[in-house]
Amino acid sequence: MDASTDKSLLKENINVEDQEGKLASNPNDILDIVSSHFKSKFEDEKVEEITPFEGERKPLKNPITPEEVRKSFNSLSNNKAPGEDQIHAELLKYGTPLLDQTIADTFNTTFSKHENLDINTGVLIAIQKPGKKKGPPNNLRPITLLNSLRKALSIITLNRIRPFVEEYLSKSQSGFRPDRSTADVVWTHKWLAAKTLKEDVIIKISGIDMSAAFDTIDRNQLLNIIATIVNEDELRIIRFLLSNTKIKTRINGATKTNTFISNVGTPQGDSLSPVLFIVYLEHALKEVRTTLPRPIVKYEKEIPNEVAYADDVDFIGQDYVNINEIQETLHKYQLKVNTDKTEFTALSKNEEDWKNAKKVGSLIGDLEDVERRKQLSTAALNKLYHVWMKGNKLKTTTKIQLYKSLVKSILLYNCSTWALTLTEEEKINAFHRKQLKKVLNIKFPVKITNKSLYKKCQEKPLSLQILKARWNLFGHILRRDSDIPANRATRAYFIQYGHKLRGRPTTTLPIVLNRDLGLIEHFRLHSTDDLVKITELAKDRKQWRELSARIEKAAEASQTVNWDATRQYVSKSHILYDC
């Protein structure tokens, strides 16, 4: 959380209801209600407490070095609200190098002598969930501010265990891993959908949704799992970070002096927590996989059978999985399946419902996803109406920067997976220009040429930006391990399992990629052999950049709109923007 954001949250009063449904007015009552609410979520008196140290006192086999401390300090973000210690990250980040050795010695002494280091208390700030009714405590979202030294120790631990974690996790998991993102998941589903639009095969997806998964895991079980993966030193540090975690509540500027224990789930606000969670989940999923039926149909053996991003897990095959069996297995690990949000999707030429199925924030159907992105970006643009209307008070460059950060980023979320016809691309270009005109406060009867508008905003047609993102992602995926779901789905598309469907081909991601390659000579994407050649090319980053640049240049040259021919004048008295 930014420091400025923290101040704004403190100014915004939080209203909560008591058990009788009446709004509490006394500040102390509000603090007690919120604190009790989150205590019930994060503290379980039945859970056995984890001790910070175990076994004899001895130094770490690989002591924490000043270089590790410095690297962790440099990883801290600027302008973030401090924790209980009130030490801002900048003080550590830009402090004297002598501090690195001092902090390293402090950490090492803690483990060699089992001395207490009080860095595990966080400050919880509750904010109102957007779009939710004000009053019920369930509609508050907790944000925990941690001490800077704890953040540094967590980053050191994360850097140490990452190689072990990468080796332990399955290829299907894309969450919180280097070089992986939600785009991997969406890309996989788009290629599977393209497969069913090309052949008479049906692919069924069982999307498992878990309830508050991060907040329900058993820390003792987590430690037992971690012990099988990492070295003794890292296990000792993780044990320390999971022990004696306490929370103070701060509401409306007032902080409750009493703390409560947080002993359920991964520690709030910790950079190490997501990685610990996916390790815990992976262990549970390994057992789940033993209960699933083995692939029988040929295409089931080729396509990815599982795609996951953190706790969003999709099981893929010819049939849906048995949710009850999965629930029983996950229950052993205190993980709960939200049956109301669990989604079953059948990818088929004859089905339409799958197009509105949401996967990690994107809809599988391209047109449906684009339309939704337009609506969300329009809402974001309208929220900043007062900014665009300030006229000359804000520089054009400032407005454009705000637009790119707060609006355009919403519009182009996972745009690298879109498959659009040329007509649809021109529609989204027009939508983009309409937004740019609104940002610049250009209204009728004032006119501006498209070429001048792009130049003034330092922009390009959105279709070219989407094309560039598509080829960046395509190359990135091809360079990854061949067994990740995105690559398996890509390969499976070119292996024929069923009868080819008649009629005009539907515009899908592989067809659009082939269309892009058609802009230049000697490249096509029609078969497995073509994919192998392009994969080899992608491994050479320089050659791939040159290929992408050639495609982008050819696409720009083939734009159907002649910018110079579209200049429109109303009269000489009207302002014409031209740069």
Q: Can you tell me which residue has the tokens 């998964």?
A: 213
- Using an 8 Å Cβ cutoff, are 173 and 162 in contact? no
CA–CA dist 378, 407 (Å, integer): 8
Query: Which pLDDT score, from 0 to 100, does residue 532 have?
Result: 96
In a domain, 347, yes or no: no
Residues 6+ apart with CB under 8 A from 289: 306
Q: How many folded domains does the chain comprise?
A: 2
CA–CA dist 38, 211 (Å, integer): 16
Give the tens place of pLDDT for each residue, 479-516: 999 999 999 999 999 998 888 888 889 999 999 999 99
Least trusted range by pLDDT, from 43-47, 263-267, 564-568: 564-568
Give the tens place of pLDDT for each residue, 541-558: 999 999 999 999 999 988
Please give the structure tokens belonging to residue 280.
Answer: 């815990």
- 13 and 135 fall within a common domain: yes
Give the tens place of pLDDT for each residue, 227-238: 999 999 999 999
Average of per-residue pLDDT across 290-316: 86
In a domain, 564, yes or no: yes
Q: How far is CA 146 from CA 92, 128, 212, 263, in A?
A: 14, 20, 21, 16
Cα of first residue to Cα of last residue in the chain, in angstroms, is 39
In a domain, 338, yes or no: no
In a domain, 61, yes or no: yes
- 109 and 253 fall within a common domain: yes
Average of per-residue pLDDT across 11-27: 79
Query: Which pLDDT score, from 0 to 100, does residue 560 have?
Result: 52
Mean pLDDT of the chain: 90
What secondary structure letter does DSSP report for 536?
Answer: H
Adjacent-strand bridge partners of 178:
none
Report strand pairing: 362-363 vs 260-261: unpaired
- Using an 8 Å Cβ cutoff, are 142 and 126 in contact? yes
CA 426 to chain centre: 29
- 258 and 392 fall within a common domain: no
The residue out of 218, 241, 263 marking a domain boundary is 263
pLDDT at 24 over 90: no
In a domain, 421, yes or no: yes
Residue 107 pLDDT level (bands cut at 50, 70, 90): very high
DSSP string for 319-348: S---HHHHHHHHHTTT--B-TTT-EEEEE-
Give the tens place of pLDDT for each residue, 44-101: 888 888 999 998 999 999 999 999 999 999 999 999 999 999 999 999 999 888 999 9
In a domain, 528, yes or no: no
Residues 6+ apart with CB under 8 A from 456: 396, 440, 448, 577, 579
Helix (H) or strand (E) holding 313, with range, is strand 312-317
Query: Which pLDDT score, from 0 to 100, does residue 570 have?
Result: 36
Q: Can you tell me which residue has the tokens 């040929």?
A: 298
- 444 and 573 fall within a common domain: yes
CA–CA dist 214, 277 (Å, integer): 7
- Using an 8 Å Cβ cutoff, are 203 and 347 in contact? yes
- 565 and 434 fall within a common domain: yes
- Residue of 273, 176, 183, 259 lying closest to 219 (CA atoms): 273
Amino acid at 486: A
- Please state, for a pLDDT cut of 70, what percent of the chain lies above it: 93
Residue 252 pLDDT level (bands cut at 50, 70, 90): confident
CA–CA dist 551, 561 (Å, integer): 18
- 257 and 387 fall within a common domain: no
Q: Domain limits at 140?
A: 3-145+231-263
- Residue of 77, 78, 75, 80 lying closest to 4 (CA atoms): 80
- 245 and 114 fall within a common domain: yes
- 250 and 373 fall within a common domain: no
- Using an 8 Å Cβ cutoff, are 478 and 487 in contact? yes
Can you give the pTM of this predicted structure? 0.90
In a domain, 339, yes or no: no
Query: Which pLDDT score, from 0 to 100, does residue 297 have?
Result: 62
CA–CA dist 388, 402 (Å, integer): 10
Helix (H) or strand (E) holding 121, with range, is strand 121-128
Burial of 336 (0-12, 13-18, 19+ CB in 10 A): middle
- The rounded radius of gyration (Å) of the Cα atoms in the chain is 27
Residue 569 pLDDT level (bands cut at 50, 70, 90): very low
The residue out of 220, 244, 263 marking a domain boundary is 263
**SS3 state of residue 254:** strand
Higher confidence at residue 508 or residue 572?
508
Around Cβ 171, how many Cβ atoms within 10 Å? 19
CA–CA dist 342, 520 (Å, integer): 44
- 397 and 252 fall within a common domain: no
Residue 114 pLDDT level (bands cut at 50, 70, 90): very high
pLDDT at 449 over 60: yes
Residue 466 pLDDT level (bands cut at 50, 70, 90): very high
- Using an 8 Å Cβ cutoff, are 412 and 466 in contact? yes
- 124 and 246 fall within a common domain: yes
Burial of 26 (0-12, 13-18, 19+ CB in 10 A): exposed
In a domain, 220, yes or no: no
